[in-house]
């Protein structure tokens, strides 16, 4: 179980052992998240830092190396992402041992701002957000990973979803079949396809009043860029589209000012919402057994919300 794997860590020893490799100030280490990763904030050399600890059963070292390489590239291209920081030993990833257990530790520079939300009345924050994501995608189009690095593709994600179908209810299989038919109609649109963030949700977006920062590059995926656009708006789909249309259009205005979406890509967004919703639902149902969801709140309520969208999927956005 995902949420139990990291519970074996000794919280009084192992995180401090890791943070000290990044010259953590004494008594500054504080746990801020214990979901899929353990995340700690600390101070070092007068700056805020975030330590992320995971286990090889959850993420391989090669997966982490691949994600960091992509994130370093984006940072060098002036994309608003948090900067990976090397340890005092000169490594982006440190192997931390605790008796028979092994953990991987990484550290990232703190960026300003608070978690993004949809409560802004004015469109400007959403425009800035759209611009930030478009800058990421624009840079991603030209990213050339080293031969040994590995990234998943949307086909890998769909294969994982497909594997659940024999044990899924009829309404799940029906939604799967509809999306599968749509996927078979797609062609590779290189102008709008590349390595995506793949977890572009509100918790991974920070806004300081003038700039958006994108954090938490756990597992970039080769996908259509519109899949990243779809992800955060999934949470609004229980509402009538007219209630959040202005915010969505402001986001697209900002995005198109950097990287213009084709009409086909705009029209694909509802399908990407459905695909991601099904993915999240199945992963949570089969892998997450904590009553508290990874993003907080009730897991049962979260699954119920996702299930409602499967039963009543968004079919189009009136743009």
Same domain for 89 and 202, yes or no, is no
**What's the pLDDT score for residue 292?**
82
pLDDT of residue 153: 97
Q: What is the pLDDT of residue 191?
A: 84
302: in domain: yes
Q: Which of 60, 92, 109 is the last residue of a domain?
A: 109
- Token digits of residue 249: 């259009």
Mark whether 280 and 170 lie in a shared domain. Answer: yes
Q: Tell me: do 154 and 230 sit in the same domain.
A: yes
DSSP designation for 261: P
145 and 184 belong to one structural domain: yes
How many domains does the chain contain in total?
A: 2
Residue 269 is predicted with a pLDDT of 95
> What pLDDT, on the 0 to 100 scale, is given for residue 2?
55
Q: Are residues 142 and 162 in the same domain?
A: yes
Contacts 24+ apart (CB under 8 A), 302-305: 305/238
- How many residues are listed for the chain in this entry? 319
Query: Are residues 158 and 96 both part of a single domain?
Result: no
Residue 295 belongs to some domain of the structure = yes
Domain boundary among 47, 77, 109: 109
Cα–Cα distances (Å) from 167 to 162, 164, 244, 301, 302, in that order, read: 10, 6, 35, 22, 20
Q: In this structure, is residue 83 part of a structural domain?
A: yes
- Residues 6 and 125 placed together within one structural domain of the fold: no
- At 101, phi and psi to the nearest 5? -95, 150
Helix (H, G, I), strand (E, B) or coil at 266: helix
> Where in the sequence is the domain holding 184, given as residue range(s)?
114-311
Sole residue written with tokens 């092994």: 102
The reported pTM is 0.95
Per-position pLDDT tens, the chain of length 319: 555 678 889 999 999 999 999 999 999 999 998 877 899 999 999 999 999 999 998 899 999 999 999 999 999 999 999 999 999 999 999 999 999 899 999 999 999 999 999 999 999 999 999 999 999 999 999 999 999 999 999 999 999 999 999 999 999 999 999 999 999 998 877 789 999 999 999 999 999 999 999 999 989 999 999 999 999 999 899 888 999 999 999 999 999 999 999 998 999 999 999 999 999 999 999 988 888 887 778 999 999 999 999 999 988 887 7
**Domain closes at, from 69, 91, 109:** 109
């Amino acid at each position: 179980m995902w949420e139990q794997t990291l519970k074996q860590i000794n919280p009084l020893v192992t995180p401090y052992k890791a943070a000290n490799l990044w010259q953590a100030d004494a008594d500054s280490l504080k746990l801020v998240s214990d979901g899929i990763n353990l995340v700690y904030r600390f101070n070092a050399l007068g700056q805020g830092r975030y330590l992320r600890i995971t286990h090889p059963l959850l993420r391989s070292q090669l997966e982490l190396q691949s994600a960091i390489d992509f994130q370093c590239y984006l940072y060098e291209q002036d994309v608003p992402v948090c900067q990976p920081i090397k340890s005092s030993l000169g490594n982006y990833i440190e192997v931390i041992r605790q008796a028979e257990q092994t953990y991987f530790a990484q550290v990232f520079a703190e960026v300003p701002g608070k978690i993004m939300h949809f409560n802004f009345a004015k469109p400007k924050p959403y425009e800035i957000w759209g611009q930030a994501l478009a800058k990421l995608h624009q840079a991603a189009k030209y990213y050339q990973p080293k031969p040994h690095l590995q990234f998943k593709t949307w086909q890998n994600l769909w294969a994982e979803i497909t594997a659940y179908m024999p044990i899924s209810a009829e309404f799940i299989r029906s939604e799967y079949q509809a999306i599968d038919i749509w996927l078979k109609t797609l062609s590779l649109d290189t102008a709008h396809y590349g390595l995506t963030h793949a977890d572009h949700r509100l918790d991974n977006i920070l806004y300081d009043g003038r700039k958006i920062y994108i954090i938490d590059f756990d597992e970039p995926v080769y996908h259509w860029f519109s899949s990243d656009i779809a992800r955060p708006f999934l949470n609004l789909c229980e509402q009538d589209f007219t209630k959040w249309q202005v915010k969505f259009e402001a986001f697209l205005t900002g995005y198109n000012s950097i990287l213009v979406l084709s009409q086909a890509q705009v029209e694909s967004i509802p399908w990407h919402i459905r695909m991601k919703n099904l993915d999240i639902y199945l992963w949570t149902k089969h892998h997450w057994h904590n009553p508290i969801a990874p993003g907080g709140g009730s897991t049962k309520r979260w699954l119920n919300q996702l299930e409602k969208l499967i039963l009543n999927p968004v079919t189009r956005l009136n743009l």
